[in-house]
Amino acid sequence: METVTSLSELRAARAELPEHVGIVPTMGYLHDGHLSLAERARDECASVVATIFVNPTQFAPEEDLDAYPRDLERDLGLLKEVGVDLVWMPALKGMYPDEFQTWVTVDDLTQVLEGTSRPTHFRGVTTVVAKLFNGVQPQKAYFGQKDAQQAVVIQRMVKDLDFPIEIVVCPIVREADGLAMSSRNTYLNPEQRQAATVLYRSLSAAKAAFEAGERQAEKLRAVVAEMVDAEPLAQLEYISCAHPETLRELQGAVERALLSMAVRVGKTRLIDNLEVGR
């Protein structure tokens, strides 16, 4: 497994890779969720490029950029074990040189859900992903359903800007008790870690209600909201029942929906989602 930092090194190494190439963009501090994307890429592509870059432009000033966990040595060991061929770890100045002023923005899809609480987040994501795509020139790119809105936004960007890249969205990998794996779970103390199970518990309760015949979007949201309210260490930021592709909030009877939520447990902000009616 080769590792590179500069764009010129990346391009030289990329030119040697057998086609097709799959990319797995990450911010590092890898867990089994990230590794499931790399494994899928390895199974579907001749070569796999993973990227590790804690992208400052997708963090707001008050967010956890400085605290974001990092363990490069461990990450590289895990990627090697999975069979990744090349790891690109761009330097900050390499990605955002002085005078940088060009942004990729996706309009409506980024104004809702996560975009409401994090108005500059997706501009950072789409800009860095466009740059990662331009550098690596992959045929396929692997993203997690954990960040459901991100996957929808990236798919829109790829269509709108004619990137010749197939986006593959992989299922959420969870801990044994249902908590979606996330690098941010490491912020939780034992009591908070226990409380954090309320995200998946409440989404699962809404899904069970749907499967038992409940179709009203308002009711499905209420099932989640009531369960989170009952957990003293958790504060609900939003619960959405939206169309899985347009992300428009649904009212009345639904046939298919993306239930997604953000919850604060202490200072840690956690997200999760579940689709119903697939």
Write out the two tokens for 219: 């009711």
Among 87, 173, 228, 263, binds ligand AMP (CB under 6 A): 173
Q: Counting contacts by CB under 6 A, is residue 110 touching ligand AMP?
A: no
Please report whether residue 185 would count as binding ligand AMP according to CB under 6 A: no
Annotated catalytic residue within 20, 31, 34, 243: 34
Choices 67-75, 86-94, 178-186, 217-225; region in contact with ligand AMP by CB under 6 A: 178-186
Backbone dihedral angles phi then psi of residue 210, each to the nearest 5 degrees: -60, -45
| Residue 195 token pair | 């409380």
Please report which residue ranges of the chain form alpha helices under DSSP H: 7-15, 32-44, 72-82, 92-95, 114-117, 121-136, 148-160, 190-195, 198-211, 217-229
| Selected range binding ligand AMP among 38-46, 141-149, 212-220, 221-229, rule: CB under 6 A | 141-149
Q: Does 4 bind ligand AMP (CB under 6 A)?
A: no
Closer by beta carbon to ligand AMP, 27 or else 48? 27
The 3-state DSSP class for residue 177 equals coil
Q: To which residue do tokens 């390499």 refer? A: 94
The dihedral through the CA atoms of 239, 243, 248, 249 has a sign that is negative
Residue 142 CB, nearest approach to ligand AMP (Å): 7
181 contacts ligand AMP (rule: CB under 6 A): yes
Cα gap 125→235, rounded to integer Å: 26
Catalytic status, residue 243: no
- 84 binds ligand AMP, rule: CB under 6 A: no
Question: What is the distance between the alpha carbons of residues 121 and 118, in angstroms, rounded to a whole number?
Answer: 5
- Spatial separation of the C-alpha atoms in residues 196 and 233, rounded to whole Å: 8
Q: For residues 264 and 233, give the distance between their C-alpha atoms in angstroms, rounded to a whole number.
A: 8
- Please give the size of the binding site for ligand AMP, defined by CB under 6 A: 17
Alpha helices in 45-87 (DSSP H): 72-82
Residue 46: other Cβ atoms inside 10 A:
13
The whole-angstrom separation of Cα 199 and Cα 272 is: 7
205-264: which residues touch ligand AMP (CB under 6 A)? none
Q: Which of residues 27-56 bind ligand AMP (CB under 6 A)?
A: 27, 33-34, 36-37
Place of tokens 């009591």: 191
Q: Which residue is nearest to ligand AMP (CB)?
A: 144
Q: Which residue number, 10 or 173, has a Cβ lying nearer to ligand AMP?
A: 173
> Is 26 a binder of ligand AMP (CB under 6 A)?
yes
Q: Which is nearer to ligand AMP, 167 or 225 (CB)?
A: 167
Residues with a catalytic annotation lie at 34
The footprint of ligand AMP (CB under 6 A) covers: 26-27, 33-34, 36-37, 143-144, 146-147, 170, 172-173, 180-183
